[in-house]
């Protein structure tokens, strides 16, 4: 079992920045692929970014590429999402998720943190 706890959400003006954190329990954090997803009101949850266990490979949705950066600190069992140049359309609940090696799907999810970008 892996527990994930997100933090760092809040209210920010368009053009501003926020950094989300996701702290994970467990002793094998470095083996998990970690992802960030978001869900806006009335919309389906969508992929934002992911990072492999080593931190060497990262992936982004086109809508955030060049503005968001995913990173991780395996010594702290934490994954981050640095969000710059925020837009009102980035407003959503942001979730982190953990994928076990070779699972093919995200196995554990956090409770989410609200990000609101005002225009």
pLDDT at 102: 81
Classify 31 as helix, strand or coil.
helix
The answer for 4, left when phi > 0, alpha when psi is -120 to 50, beta otherwise, is beta
Q: Are 8 and 21 in contact (CB under 8 A)?
A: yes
Rounded CA Rg of the chain: 13
Burial class of 44 by CB neighbour count within 10 A (0 to 12, 13 to 18, 19+): exposed
Q: How confident is the model at residue 103 (pLDDT cuts 50, 70, 90)?
A: confident
- What pLDDT, in 10s, does the model give residues 63-76? 999 999 999 999 99
């Amino acid at each position: 079992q892996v527990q994930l706890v997100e933090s760092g959400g809040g209210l920010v003006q368009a053009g501003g920045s926020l950094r989300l954190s996701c702290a994970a329990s467990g002793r094998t954090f470095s083996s998990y692929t970690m992802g960030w997803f978001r869900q806006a009101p009335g919309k389906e949850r969508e992929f934002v970014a992911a990072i492999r266990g080593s931190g060497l490979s990262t992936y982004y949705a086109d809508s955030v590429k060049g503005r968001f950066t995913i990173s991780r600190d395996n010594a702290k069992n934490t994954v981050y999402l640095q969000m710059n140049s925020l837009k009102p359309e980035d407003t959503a609940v942001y979730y982190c998720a953990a994928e076990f090696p070779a699972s093919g799907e995200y196995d554990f999810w956090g409770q989410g943190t609200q990000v609101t970008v005002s225009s």
